[in-house]
Amino acid sequence: MLRPITHFAFRCLAEARTCPSKRRCDESVFRVFSKIARVFGYEEASTIAEPWFLDSAYLLAEAVLATPSGAEIQFPWPMVVSLSTTNYCSHGCTICVSNSVANLGRRSIPLSSVSTLASTPIPHFILSGGEPGQSHNLKEITNILLSAKKDVYVATASSARSLAPVFEKYPNQVTILVSFWGEPRQHDEIRGEGSYQRALATIEELRNLPVRCSINYVVTESGTSALHWITKVASQLPAHRIFITRKIEFGRGAATTASHHDSDLSKEIRRLQQQDRRIVYGIPSTDAAPWHQRLAESLIGLKLPRDCGAATWAMHVDHRGVCQPCFASRPSEAPPPSSTLEFHKAWRALQSGRARTNRQLVKKDACRAEQITGATPFAPQ
């Protein structure tokens, strides 16, 4: 009974994108959707001048209208793209493969690929690597995306001071994402001696710059003790958001990983969220869906994804400009798309591949790259 009503609302939302009085429609959409987003824990935009927020709303509306009743929601474009700015990194972390394949050379993603992606409705971009700070055209990449009004995260293990001119030109429109992998000793074992202090120094140098800083805390073991660092250190740092994610079996080092089925860990994370609203829970689990997700599913008559986001709402584009389900997938031999239409076809192909492989999954809520034959984590010998 509710589905026709919600569909009518989403159709109005989708049509608002081409409304003759677009500014007024945008203001109405922003006002309503920002309130809804806060209920669902979505990071709301501060002003209507951030079109990525409206693009997110319109993509959601189009997905709801195009997906058959009872099916898992299918997005016309990814909501998030991780973009490998370069294949090079000098750090040699055990949980990575950058700069570990012979004869690849040092390459950065073509700016033409970035410009084409910037022309799409994709609202969110995460710049990764290799190491973005060691890409020779990082400033150009961020300028292209920011001038297109995209929401940009730069995931770095290096100093971000070289981007200061970009921060000044686009104040508070970039988020620097700094990762921590547990206590200092554990972090350095994974990411190299001195990397923990380097990560702290990166956060400190951003205090007086017009840029947001967020933390990606990676859980590498099961049990609630893995979260002690959050309560001891992260809560004291000037972070805009604290993402809690899970290490997957990927990289040139040991494949220790946290379980998806640790209910105690899930409960502890949710308890921490009640204490600190900056915490974002990014680990799929077998727990019952939270109440707001169950409510949303009943309102729209569709299933919302709770497991791996690869080819569901997220896509990875490597340093060649080639599309992959995620950074942990084996590199595709397909040629890089050269137009908006070709990027869209590549996204649809990834979605189709995901649907075909769903039958192969042992754990519906786990990392697909760890389970699917032919898409096993890329870990060169």
Cα(151)–Cα(126) distance, rounded to whole angstroms? Answer: 9
Q: Which residue has the higher pLDDT, 176 or 24?
A: 176
pLDDT for 104: 59
Instruction: Report the pLDDT value the prediction gives residue 376, as an integer from 0 to 100.
Output: 41
What crossing angle do the helices spanning 340-357 and 111-118 adopt, rounded to 10°? Answer: 80
Is 376 within a domain? no
Task: Say whether both 135 and 32 belong to one domain.
Answer: no
Please state the pTM of the whole predicted model: 0.83
Which tens digit of pLDDT belongs to each residue from 130-139?
A: 888 888 899 9
Output the pLDDT for position 117. Answer: 96
- The residue among 16, 36, 66 that closes a domain is 66
Taking a C-beta distance cutoff of 8 angstroms, is the pair 150, 125 a contact?
yes
Q: Which element (helix H / strand E) includes 89?
A: none
Digit-coded pLDDT (tens) for 264-280 = 777 788 888 888 878 88
Query: Are 328 and 187 in the same domain?
Result: yes
* Residue 102: partners with Cβ closer than 8 Å, 6 or more residues away: none
Same domain? 57 vs 117? no
Q: How does DSSP assign 115-168, residue by residue?
A: HHHHTSS--EEEEESS-GGG-TTHHHHHHHHHHTT-EEEEE-SS--GGGHHHHH
Are 198 and 180 contacting, i.e. CB atoms less than 8 angstroms apart? no
279 and 194, same domain (yes or no): yes
The count of domains in the chain is 2
Q: Which domain holds residue 249?
A: 80-370
Same structural domain for residues 51 and 188? no
Q: At what angle do helices 291-300 and 2-16 cross, to 10 degrees?
A: 90
Q: What is the pLDDT of residue 373?
A: 36
Six token digits for residue 354: 């995901």
**Residue 375 forms part of a structural domain:** no
Which of 197-211, 346-360, 363-377 bottoms out in mean pLDDT, i.e. has the lowest? 363-377
CATH number, domain of 171, equals 3.20.20.70
pLDDT of 362: 44
Asked which of 14-28, 70-84, 213-227 is least confident by mean pLDDT, the reply is 14-28
Say yes or no to pLDDT of 114 above 60.
Answer: yes
On whether residue 37 sits in a domain, the answer given is yes
Last residue within a domain, chosen from 28, 43, 66? 66
Task: Return the number of other C-beta atoms located less than 10 Å from residue 293's C-beta.
Answer: 15
Specify whether 137 is located in the same domain as 263.
yes
Structure tokens at 140: 């150009």
Pairing mode, strands 174-180 and 151-155 = parallel
49 and 89 inside one domain: no
> Is the bond preceding 133 in cis, omega lying within 30 degrees of 0?
no
Residue 128 lies in a domain: yes
Q: 73 lies in a domain?
A: no
Is 48 part of any domain?
yes
Secondary structure of residue 266 in the 3-state scheme: helix
Judgement on whether residues 280 and 194 belong to the same structural domain of the protein: yes
Please name which of 313, 310, 328 lies closest in space to residue 247, comparing C-alpha atoms.
328
pLDDT(5) > 90? no
Same domain assignment for residues 150 and 277: yes
pLDDT tens for 305-322 read: 766 778 888 999 999 999
Tokens of 76: 């016309």
- The CB density around residue 272, as the number of other CB atoms within 10 Å, is 20
Kindly report, residue by residue over 14-70, the tens digit of the pLDDT: 666 666 566 666 666 666 666 656 544 555 555 555 677 778 878 888 888 888 888
Give the confidence band of 235 by pLDDT, cuts at 50, 70, 90. Answer: confident
Q: Tell me, yes or no, whether 107 and 13 share the same domain.
A: no
Q: Quick one: 94 and 188 in the same domain?
A: yes
Q: What pLDDT was estimated at residue 265?
A: 75
Does residue 121 fall inside a structural domain?
yes
Distances (CA, A) of 144 to 131, 163, 208, 320, 321: 19, 13, 24, 17, 15
Q: Tokens for 241?
A: 């958001």
In a domain, 250, yes or no: yes
pLDDT-wise least confident of 50-64, 68-82, 180-194: 50-64
Res. 107: pLDDT tops 60: yes
- ∠ CA 245-42-198 to the nearest 5 degrees? 40
Are 133 and 195 contained in the same domain?
A: yes
